[in-house]
């Protein structure tokens, strides 16, 4: 290999690695301990303004709420003792055909507002859970996955949420799909999926994933995630 070819190879490789390292989002609000497991297996503590990259597995500890804003303006708020994996988050304003958002909810709960990708390429945004895939239709929604760990979360009629996936829709709509079929949920509706082979169902009352006002509200302007007021996202 000649010197010129070696230098060219190093430059191309360096550019490629830099491109891969571009962040998918940034932590904007944090009330406790948030950790990430990187794609290479390393772990680190995150703080406000920390970058979030594709492949990151984000985990919150007890009493921790974390809010992440992504490169297309979409946002996710994680509840305490929750875990997500940012599988893919690709956005380029000039290349809509390359849009791709795929986030896995592994544990706990989240509240999400879709960004520009969700407005121009709805089919390119999905959230994977152990019981169903959540497809979006320009949406602000909550999702809570219970597996024996939701005993501190009250149901509207009393008791605790059963194991499975619970969803609530504030604006837009979502589609829950799994091996049993697909069901659409519109603004104001609650849903539940007991397992990967159980048909998603609309329920009259359910769990609304909420958060403290300090996490819900954007600093300085009073507007919050999904353009709701802090009161709309009061802590449970």
Residue among 168, 163, 211, 207 nearest 63 (CA): 211
Domain assignment of residue 179, given as a range: 3-227
Domain count for the chain? 1
Cα separation, 71 vs 68, whole angstroms = 10
CATH code for the domain of 118? 2.60.120.1440
Q: Could you identify the residue written with the tokens 């799994």?
A: 178
Residue 23, helix vs strand vs coil: coil
Looking at residue 3, its pLDDT comes to 54
For the stretch 6-51, pLDDT in tens is 445 444 444 444 345 589 999 999 999 999 999 899 999 999 999 9
Residue 234: inside a domain, yes or no? no
Q: What is the pLDDT of residue 235?
A: 27
Does residue 169 fall inside a structural domain?
yes
Asked if residue 160 belongs to a domain, the reply is yes
| CA angle centred on 7, ends 5 and 10, rounded to 5° | 110
Residue 126 lies in a domain: yes
Residue 232 lies in a domain: no
**20 is a domain residue:** yes
Structure confidence by residue, pLDDT tens digits, 125-163: 999 999 999 999 878 999 999 999 999 898 988 899 999
Q: Average pLDDT, stretch 194-223?
A: 87
- By the 8 A CB rule, do 58 and 50 touch? no
Of 134, 122, 117, 230, the closest CA to residue 183 belongs to 134
């Amino acid at each position: 290999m000649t010197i010129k070819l070696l230098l060219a190879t190093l430059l191309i490789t360096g550019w490629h690695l830099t491109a891969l390292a571009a962040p998918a989002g940034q932590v904007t609000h944090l009330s406790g301990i948030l950790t990430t497991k990187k794609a290479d297996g390393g772990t680190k503590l995150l703080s406000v303004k920390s970058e979030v990259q594709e492949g990151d597995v984000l985990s919150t500890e007890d009493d921790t709420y974390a809010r992440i804003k992504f490169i297309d303006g979409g946002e996710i708020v994680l509840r305490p003792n929750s875990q997500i994996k940012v599988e893919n988050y690709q956005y380029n304003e000039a290349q809509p055909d390359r849009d791709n958002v795929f986030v896995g909810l592994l544990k706990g709960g989240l509240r999400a507002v879709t960004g520009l990708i969700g407005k121009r390429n709805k089919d390119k945004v999905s959230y994977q859970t152990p019981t169903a895939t959540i497809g979006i239709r320009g949406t602000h929604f909550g999702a809570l996955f219970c597996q024996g760990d939701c005993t501190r979360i009250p149901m509207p009629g009393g008791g605790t949420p059963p194991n499975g996936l619970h969803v609530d829709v504030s604006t837009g709509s979502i589609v829950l799909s799994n091996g049993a079929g697909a069901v659409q949920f519109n603004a104001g509706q609650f849903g539940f999926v007991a397992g990967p082979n159980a048909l998603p169902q609309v329920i009259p009352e359910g769990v609304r994933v909420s958060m403290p006002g300090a996490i819900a509200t954007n600093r300085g302007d009073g507007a919050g995630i999904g353009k709701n007021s802090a009161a709309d996202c009061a802590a449970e």
